[in-house]
Amino acid sequence: MIKQLPNTTISKVSKELIVIREEGGAVALGRVLTLIIQTDFKGLEDSIQAANEASRAHPCRIIVLAEDSKQVKQASRLDAEIRVGGDAGASEVIVLKAFGEVGADAESLVTGLLLPDAPVVAWWPGIAPVKPADSAIGRIAQRRITDAAEQPNPHAWLTNLAKNYTPGDSDFAWTRLTLWRAQLAAILDQPPYDEVIGVTVTGLVDSPSTDLLAAWLEMKLKVPVELIRTTRGKAPAGIRGVKISRRSGDIEIVRRVPDVATLIQPTQPTREISLPRRSLRDCLIEDLRRLDSDDTFGKLITKGFGTKRVQPKPTAKKTV
């Protein structure tokens, strides 16, 4: 069910939530957190869909604060929608569309709609604040999720995040690496256990996940990592391969087609492994599993991610 509330106020939205709950039986019991999504009108429905799907694993109240990115001067107005039942997954969704000056104070718009005594997670699916923790929404959130791949210059964004990192910050460029990290760790846990003497990571020129994977391997293996940036072609976007050099031979994971990679190891037959690109839903589910600070990401972004890496030219279309 979707309830439309045009030209409304937060007080009226809150009262309507109570009416819907009493008449339809929708309850807030079992909600484990409040997820605040700050986006523009264009990214509204994709963000809601991902959040609805993620809510089946993490029941929550979803508050979507959308502003007109066209910045057209118009009268101050707040339109709202309340979505429950089949239109809201395992959550209740409150969509706030702010026009004009009403969107200037984002914190006051959402404060009256937060679940009592529940953690708050903020997510910016598109352009994110320079310092998320100091933004109006970031100040009230325990976790703050950004996406470097959606910024105009993904590499510059990671450099900015390294300078402005606050415990509780997270980024989907890191979350998308989970399958790669697990696969690489599993390979290195197998014999022979000889020393790694070199690593090469290859990825698209504007792939922030490639940057973070190279930095993570350098930090963990304590060897120099060569980072090769490729231009767009027929090969899949994002990370395209990792080569780990040891005296016993090279281990290579090469992704030539979407979702599937080829694993090449000395003295073993070449085989294919599953390495799908993670969806917004998958990334959001993983990031909502923990409401404390991700210490590994914090250490990586502040100490392991160096500006010494050559910055790519911000001319290619952004990707993961």
Contact 182, 293 (CB under 8 A): no
Upper half-sphere CA count for residue 134 (Cβ side, 13 Å): 6
Q: Give the SS3 label for residue 145.
A: strand
Residue 232: pLDDT band (50, 70, 90) is: confident
The pLDDT value given to residue 72: 56
pLDDT tens digits along 174-191: 999 999 999 999 999 988
The pLDDT value given to residue 320: 43
Range from 2-6, 201-205, 237-241, 307-311 carrying the lowest mean pLDDT:
307-311
**pTM to 2 decimal places:** 0.90
pLDDT tens digits along 250-307: 999 999 888 999 999 998 999 999 999 899 999 999 999 989 999 999 999 998 775 4
The pLDDT value given to residue 233: 66
Write the CB contacts of 23 (distance below 8 Å, at least 6 apart in sequence): none
Return the ∠ at Cα 97 (arms to 80 and 318), rounded to 5°. 140
